[in-house]
Amino acid sequence: MSDSRKDHTISIAFTHRQEGRKRQPAQESVFDSYANQHYRLNLGGRLFQLAPVDQKTQLPETDERPVAPGFIISAWNPNGDPAFENDNDDANDRLERDLARFTYTPLVTLARNSRWIERSFLVHGINRDKALELARRYGQKGLVALTDTTLEVILVDGPTPANSQPLKVIELPVAPCPLMLEFEAEKECRPYGGPWTSSSIEAAAIWSFQSKLLINALGCSACQQPDQPYRQRTGAIAINRAAVPSRFGGWQWMSRKEA
Amino acid letter, 192: Y
Ramachandran assignment for 147, one of left (phi > 0), alpha (psi -120 to 50 degrees), beta (any other):
beta
Select, from the ranges 153-167, 175-189, 224-238, the one with the highest average predicted confidence (pLDDT). Answer: 153-167
What is the per-residue burial (b if ≥16 Cβ within 10 Å, else e) of 175-189? bbbbbbbebbbebeb
- φ and ψ of 168, to 5 deg: -125, 150
Q: Is 236 exposed, middle or buried (0-12, 13-18, 19+ CB in 10 A)?
A: buried
Q: Residues 6 or more apart from 59 whose CB is under 8 A from it?
A: 170, 171, 172, 173
Tens of pLDDT along 19-65? 445 677 888 999 999 999 999 999 988 999 999 988 777 778 899 99
Tens of pLDDT along 83-115? 999 999 999 999 999 999 999 999 999 998 888
Q: Is residue 17 very low, low, confident or very high in pLDDT (cuts 50, 70, 90)?
A: very low
CA distances from 58 to 127, 172, 185, 215 (A): 35, 10, 11, 20
Q: Work out whether strand 46-52 and strand 38-43 pair parallel, antiparallel, or are unpaired.
A: antiparallel
Rounded to two decimals, what is the model's pTM?
0.88
